[in-house]
Structure 1
Amino acid sequence: MSTQQVSYHGVGVSAGRVIGPVLRMPDPITAPADGAPLPEGSTADAEIERLAAATQSVAAALKARAATATGDAQAVLKATALMASDRTLLKSASKLVSGGTCAESAIWEAADAVATQLAALGGYMAERAGDVLDVRARIVAELRGVPAPGIPDSDVPFVLAAVDLAPADTATLDPAKVLALVTSDGGPQSHTAIIARSLGLPAIVAAAGTTALDDGMLVFADGISGTVTTNPGAEQEHLAATYANREPLPDFDGNGMLADGHLVPLLANVGSGTDAQAAAAAGAQGVGLLRTEFCFLGRDAEPTHQEQVAAYGAVFEAFAGKKVVVRTLDAGADKPLPFLTDTTEPNPALGVRGYRTDAASPGVLSRQLAAIAQAAGEHQAEVWTMAPMISTPAEAGAFAAMVAEAGLPTGGAMIEVPSAAVLAGGILSRCDFVSLGTNDLTQYTMAADRQLGAMAELNDPWQPAVLHLIKATSEGARSAGGKPVGVCGEAAADPALAVVLVGLGVNTLSMNKRALSPVAAVLRTVDLPAARRLAALALDADSASEARRLVRAELPELDRFGL
């Protein structure tokens, strides 16, 4: 084995510096022969039955894992389980079996056709292509009676290396075994990045060339700089030791503020009552994003009124007397629902999703608002309600009217589309608040698919163009009488970027519960004038990397806490 030191450069998406041996994701399930015939002595009906049983088993296993997961992991597993039980996929494969093809070859071919169609659409739907291929591999493994693809097992902690990670695998990583994640593909807002941040695992994505890393190779993984270095030497050992001995973060005391006392409430992003209880225990000052998809995903039909009331009520109960911002159903694109989504759209990321589904499927949104209103009336939380994918002031006004009609006191809009940021003043003249969804805002502003490693540099919330749109949103809020502006995208969980967001005029930040302590600790080291000065540095930068470098250089506490 070579002793030469080689460095690979990617994007650091979750802080941390560790040294450990590499373990690669195991080889994928091998493809069956094209058009392989029915097994000898079997019939098409028997093979279709065997295929249906395998898909049901895979879907059930994914749902069972979702039941024990929380937050982002739960949502990812539910979405993958829904894909496994997709009737269109099973119907296509069964048709091939009826023509004389064995179950393995049939599901392989049918899934390949679906994935190819999704990949051609780009954007969110290209992301779902990976899910389809992951489900295909699990079904074929079930048919063969072999273990499904997944995270390798090891007696010693390791650095997991892969081209990319399937959502169902990423969602069940064991932080006690996995030291860090390294992928050659993916981007700053991919599933891998989101789950790594929620688990507190150092992670580097879009690290081209890391496919050359072999099992057992010792590497230094730097989730802060985004580098992976083989055969680490004294310099890397010092950095890893410094990180391991970093100053412990103080527990979040439930009061987000700057050094001068300027209040910045820190809220949590949640997707269930279990999530809400964990966030409340971590000190979250409320909920800045309740993803209501959690009670819709994995279902063939819309949940009943009482099912929705119970689901929302479980979250409201955990935050009595505190703000809970509810995002209405964000269906479509990466979250298709069989009873709501038009799968024939040529470009779903720019199609009928979020608030727009109300025009295509009237009634679902009003019924959801009625359930939210009843749950709010049965609990003591301060419930705010917002719609995703608002593009114009007229849409914001129409949604605010629906909220009022449902008897809910506070209606708002998500700023995810550049047009909404530019017209924030007009939008806020028609509703009560806005919340910036920086994941989609970045993707739409930079025209960069968040799953593509090649687009990772563009798909970065530090991009100055994105920061200028956030500033425009804050200025629009001031022109509308100083109405509240929050951030509920992944950007809020980056302690350095959180300082910039406050400097740009954002009032509240919402994040995964693990980010509360680091964000709170860094915010308390700067006053408002300093935050505004750092925001100006970032706005004037020529690139995301320069903006990040300039701001981090002014925040020495990041190194102190290993952030």
Structure 2
Amino acid sequence: MAEIRGVGIGLGVAQGPVARMAEPLPAPADEPSTLGADAEKARVTEAVGAVARELEQRGEQAGGAARDVLEAQAMMAEDPTLADEVNARIAQGKNGEFAVFDAFASFRDQLTALGGYLGERAADLDDVAQRVIARLRGVPAPGVPEPGHPFVLVAKDLAPADTALLDLDMVLALVTTEGGPTSHTAILAREKAIVAIVGATAATGLADGETVIVDAAGGVVTTEPTADELDRAQKRAAARADAASAPRTPGALADGTAVPLLANLGNADGAEEAVALGAEGVGLFRTEFLFLSANQAPTVAQQREAYTKLLQAFPGKKVVVRALDAGADKPLAFLNDAHEENPALGLRGLRALRASEDILREQLTALAEADAATEADLWVMAPMVATVEETEYFVTLAREYDIKTAGVMVEVPSSALLADRILAHADFASIGTNDLTQYTMAADRLLGSVASFQDPWHPAVLRLVKATGDAGRTNGKPVGICGEAAADPLLAVVLVGLGATSLSMAPTALADVRATLLDHTLDDASRIAEAALAADDAASARVAAQEAAARTKETQQ
């Protein structure tokens, strides 16, 4: 037996034989064109257009986040700058295949050098290039293997076009050697509840037909498993399936303490599924989807329509909407087009909105109008708040628009350390554990080379969560969690023990968290949290919490 470690996506476990993704098409030879420049340009234009239309068609078929990803990939394929680069090479006498290969590779290298969100998109560009070259050669594009039986898919990385349409009756789990927790592979695996581990570099050694166990909760691929290990993994998978099909009861601890379980949503289209999976409301509605695909800010009417659709899906329930969080990995030219050496520490979140206050005022107008037309309980929060003054500014402005419940995101250490003063003004706080971990550990959450630091289990992060939770109790204000940490069942227990009053996560994680909370009382949660806080690092905090939870179960028995 051996273990291969990576970043687990989701909380499931699966087992089965490996099937490896086919190797990419070989690079085209740098040979002169035999057709002439005009003919080469015409065939490349046709191929690019055909690939873009295919991506859009796959997106329509897949729906949800996959559609957004594939539409973005189609736009990338037809980027005018990229077309100019290809045509420039053809004008130099290059053949179409090589011109596409070389131009796309150059563009990819530029994205990789930029890092962050754009760096993560480099793999998407490789996939587009492969599909265009395959079209030019008249051969099928590399894709998901079809061994004729259920399998664990192992790949360097998986293109959005492939992930979006995976046959989930055949793909038992997904393991990639590259990619991180924010890659499109990870995003779509979460949405589809695929058992997945990304960034497992040692998985290059896995062979077709080899049986493995993929434990996403532990971030481990086990090779050459014993019969006992296979049996335990099967029982875990069955128990998780049972938990997923259990009645959709409100989130609560074993002693009856209510812990509302809410959904993180990127657009209103996911509301129906969230409700079906037991979401008691929305803990984070990201409004960026309305802005990121536009060259200018959407109108008040356009925003009102989207917000109304969301709120109508949750009558009488809490819906927390985050004001536009742009900047850093989500740049918007109409909001902040200035070059920044370190945009994660620049004009982003509320800072960017204050610099373009008309956009914030229009968003608040649209939210207020949608609220007046529906029966949901609307809460609105500001992103990236760092000071008490920023809190006062946002809450005062929200009140102008009759927003009844105005709060702030706690994503930087300063807001956690000042939470007692911030919550004297704000109606609530919501902790974004992804960014809070990034800024606490000084580790870019989109940078693979420092991914080991990006762990919300770190006691430094947990202390800041506790400081915010304590401030919430002191001020009588709710403190929610809306980062990825809330989707980890044991960490969810710890967060409640630190003072979190609600948890928001990807809807597919709700069942696991609901079942785990029911195993512990509030006193148990506090003891488990204290054990994690006493550790020196993330790994030992996780182990300490596991041991404390095990002792709790022994006491109950």
TM-score (norm 1): 0.88
Residue identity matched to 1:84: A
Equivalence map 1:447-466=2 (5 Å): 447-451=442-446, 454-466=449-461
Aligned to 2:291: 296
Aligned to 1:375: 370
- The match for 1:246 among 239, 249, 252 is 239
Are 1:174 and 2:167 an aligned pair? yes
| Structure 1 residues 445 and 518: alpha-carbon distance in aligned structure 2, compared to 1, 3 A threshold | same
Which deviates the most, 331-340 or 157-166? 331-340
5+ residue gaps, structure 1, are none
Deviations 1:1-21 (A, max 9, x none): xxxx44323344433333211
Change (3 A) 1:82 1:475: farther
Other-structure match for 1:216: 209
Amino acid aligned to 1:405: E
Q: Could you say what secondary structure the match of 1:549 adopts?
A: helix
Q: How does 1:463-478 map to 2 (within 5 A)?
A: 463-478=458-473
Give the Cα–Cα distance (whole angstroms) in 2 for the partners of residues 399 and 82 of structure 1: 35
Residues 6 and 19 of structure 1: CA distance in aligned 2, closer, same or farther (over 3 Å): same
Indicate yes or no: 2:522 matched with 1:506.
no
Deviations 1:115-160 (A, max 9, x none): 3233233333322333333333334334444434443334211111
Letter in structure 2 aligned against 1:461: P
1:25 aligns with 2:18: no
Report the equivalent of 1:323: 318
Show the counterpart of 2:481. 487
* Pair 1:137-2:130 in alignment: yes
Q: Residues 121 and 346 of structure 1 are in contact (CA less than 8 Å); yes or no, is this contact kept in structure 2?
A: no
Which of 352, 358, 375 is 1:363 aligned to?
Answer: 358
Which residue does 2:271 correspond to in 1?
A: 276
Worse overlay, 151-160 or 64-73: 64-73
Query: Alignment partner of 1:390: what SS?
Result: coil
Give 2:269's aligned amino acid. T
Task: Give the whole-Å Cα distance in 1 for the aligned partners of 2:40 and 2:332.
Answer: 28
Q: Taking structure 1 as reference, are residues 150 and 449 closer, same or farther at Cα in structure 2, changes over 3 Å only? A: farther
Q: Which has the higher mean CA deviation after the structures are superposed, 71-80 or 403-412?
A: 71-80
CA distance in 1: counterparts of 2:335 and 2:43, whole angstroms: 29
Amino acid at match of 1:375: A
| Alignment correspondent of 1:535 | 529
- After superposition, the Cα gap between the structure-2 partners of 1:229 and 1:283, relative to the gap in structure 1 and judged at 3 Å, is closer
1:473-508 alpha-carbon deviations (Å, 9 max, x no partner): 2233345x2222111111111111110010110111
CA contact (8 A) 1:78 1:298 kept: no
**What corresponds to 1:127 in structure 2?**
120
Q: Secondary structure at the match of 2:201?
A: coil
Change (3 A) 1:153 1:343: farther
CA contact (8 A) 2:9 2:216 kept: yes
Distance 1:444 1:298 in 2: 27
The yes-or-no answer on 1:259 pairing with 2:254 is: yes
Take 2:299 and 2:459, find their aligned partners in 1: how far apart are those partners?
44
SS at match of 1:296: helix
Q: Measure the CA separation in 1 of the matches of 2:138 and 2:352.
A: 41
Taking the aligned partners of 1:410 and 1:100, their CA distance within structure 2 comes to 63
Partner of 1:425: 420
Q: 1:294-352: per-residue Cα shift (whole Å, max 9, x none)?
A: 33344444434333222221111110111111122333333345655638544333344
One of 193, 198, 203 as aligned partner of 1:205: 198
Structure 1 residue 540, shift from structure 2 partner:
1.2
Verify: 1:147 aligned to 2:140, yes or no.
yes
Could you report, residue by residue, the CA deviation over 1:517-552 in whole angstroms, capped at 9, with x for unpaired residues?
221111112111111111111111122222222223
| 1:301/1:314 CA distance change after superposition, 3 Å | same
One-letter amino acid matched to 1:503: G
- State whether structure 2 residue 6 is matched by structure 1 residue 10: yes
Identity of aligned residues (%): 50
Contact 2:473 2:499 in 1 (8 A): no
Structure 1 residue 521 and structure 2 residue 515: aligned?
yes
Please tell me the residue identity of whatever aligns with 1:212: G
CA distance in 2, matches of 1:453, 1:76: 21
Question: Does the aligned pair in 1 maintain the 2:47–2:136 contact within 8 Å?
Answer: yes
The separation in 1 between residues aligned to 2:335 and 2:55, in whole angstroms, is 22
SS in 1 for 2:360: helix
Alpha-carbon contact 2:37-2:90 (below 8 Å) kept: no
For 1:58 and 1:88, the matched residues in 2 are separated by 17
Where do 5+ consecutive residues of structure 2 fail to align?
A: none
Distance in 2 (alpha carbons) for counterparts of 1:352 and 1:147: 45
Q: Could you tell me how far 1:513 is from its partner in structure 2?
A: 1.7
Partner of 2:388: 393
Any conservation in 1 of the 2:406–2:426 contact (CA below 8 Å)? yes
Q: Is the 8 A contact 2:469 2:500 kept in 1?
A: yes
Q: Is this contact kept in 2: 1:70–1:275, CA < 8 A?
A: no
Pair 1:81–1:498, CA change in 2 (3 A): farther
Equivalent residues in 2 for 1:181-196, closer than 5 Å? 181-188=174-181, 190-196=183-189
Distance 1:269 1:140 in 2: 38
Q: SS in structure 2 opposite 1:457?
A: helix
**2:130 partner SS:** helix
Who is 2:543 aligned against? Answer: 549
Range 520-529 or range 246-255, more displaced: 246-255
Q: In the alignment, residue 263 of structure 2 is paired with which amino acid?
A: A
Normalising by structure 2, we get a TM-score of 0.89
